[in-house]
Amino acid sequence: MEYILLNNGVKMPKLGFGTIGQFGEQITHNVSYALNNGYLLIDTANRYGNEAEVGKGIKKSGLKREEIFLETKLGPTLYENDQAIDDTLKRLDVEYIDLMILHHPVNNYIYAYKMLEKAYKKGKLKAIGLSNFPVEKIQEILDNCEIVPAVMQVECHPYYPAEAVKPFLDEHQIALQSWYPLGHGNTGMLNDPVFVQLANKYHKSTVQIILRWHTQMGFGLVPGSTSLKHIKENAEIFDFTLTKEEMKMIESVNKHQPFYIVTSESLERLAKTKCNFED
């Protein structure tokens, strides 16, 4: 495993297992399987509705709690709920969370970030961060809060390497963690001739080439899958290294356009969407 040293000194594994869209016994089993097949980071969220099952999967794995990096996201409808972080700890059945981030830049995110800061100071959270925040709202956090975010989770892949926020994150030593690391399985990207060529050279899949690109760019990433075969294969990316020339080749496929387009309507919907455990 390779790691990112966060701006507060915490080591975060680069590769994580994403759990969005997985529920019940399936996710419990898949989390346990992932932790025993190359992953040390598990990513979930209040809004995924599977935190309790993720917690069971962590215990089922047999690994010690301190061997696992657990991250989750605070749901926007909980941004002024002072009990929300403690409730999250209870659902996950853990004493601390390695990383908690604000899921979306809506509602009272300043108050919510200060909630994260309080929990961080009490040792309930080992690191705090943001997800999907544009530069101007990250700056608002910096202007109104005490602790610089350690991580920013955002859409990032070779077709769009988060260029709208990456320079700002670098300036403030905020680590970038990719969701959509495979462009949501975009067939154009997975079959791009550049990745096909490199896959043939290294006897890997195009998926593995793209995931390796993320790690060599210094990004964290949280690919998810319900297939045990794909879960295992997605972790088999640390036994080869792309050359500088090959990284430059991949740079040439950048389309400068994210797949996920933020609109006022989508933000309004996110602001109102409750977690399944809320009344």
State the greatest distance between any 2 C-alpha atoms of the chain, in Å, as a whole number.
54
Provide the pairing of β-strand 220-221 with 175-179: parallel
How far apart (Å, rounded) are the C-alpha atoms in residues 116 and 112? Answer: 6
Residue 260 pLDDT > 90, yes or no? no
DSSP string, 127-168: -EEEES--HHHHHHHHHH-SS--SEEEEE-BTTB--TTTHHH
Share of the chain above pLDDT 70, in %: 100
Q: Is the dihedral of CA 123, 127, 128, 131 positive or negative?
A: negative
How far apart (Å, rounded) are the C-alpha atoms in residues 107 and 102? Answer: 11
**Catalytic residue numbers, as ranges:** 48
pLDDT one-digit tens code per residue, 6-21: 999 999 999 999 999 9
The pLDDT value given to residue 11: 98
DSSP string, 3-40: EEE-TTS-EEESBEEE-TT--HHHHHHHHHHHHTTT--
Buried b (16+ CB within 10 A) or exposed e, 89-108: bebbebebbbbbbbbbbbbe
Helix, coil or strand: residue 108: coil
pLDDT one-digit tens code per residue, 169-228: 999 999 999 998 998 778 999 999 999 999 999 999 999 999 999 999 999 999 999 999
Cα radius of gyration (the chain): 18
pTM for this structure? 0.96
Question: Cβ distance 159 to 186 under 8 Å?
Answer: yes
